[in-house]
Amino acid sequence: MAFPAVLLAQLGGRLSFLGLSAIFQSVSGLTAGVVWSQIQTGLLGLVLQAVIVPFVIVALCTLIKKEEKSE
């Protein structure tokens, strides 16, 4: 359950950032367009994290279980 929660938190944070930049663009140096381009730039990293991290965790758990059985 932790992985979907982290993914939703990351998406929620980016949507909040985009929304707040659109609301406060008159008093901030960031426009919604600039924020959207930043989000697009980081999407590849977000997707890679969502795909690779669960596989790494499963692999580590498997290694730990194998070590516990051999002891």
Question: Measuring CA to CA, how many Å separate 19 from each of 9, 11, 46, 47, 48?
Answer: 15, 12, 19, 21, 24
Which of the four pLDDT bands, split at 50, 70 and 90, describes residue 69? confident
Cβ neighbours of 6 (radius 10 Å): 13
6-42 per-position pLDDT tens digit? 888 888 999 999 999 999 988 988 889 999 999 999 9
Note the pLDDT of residue 1.
66
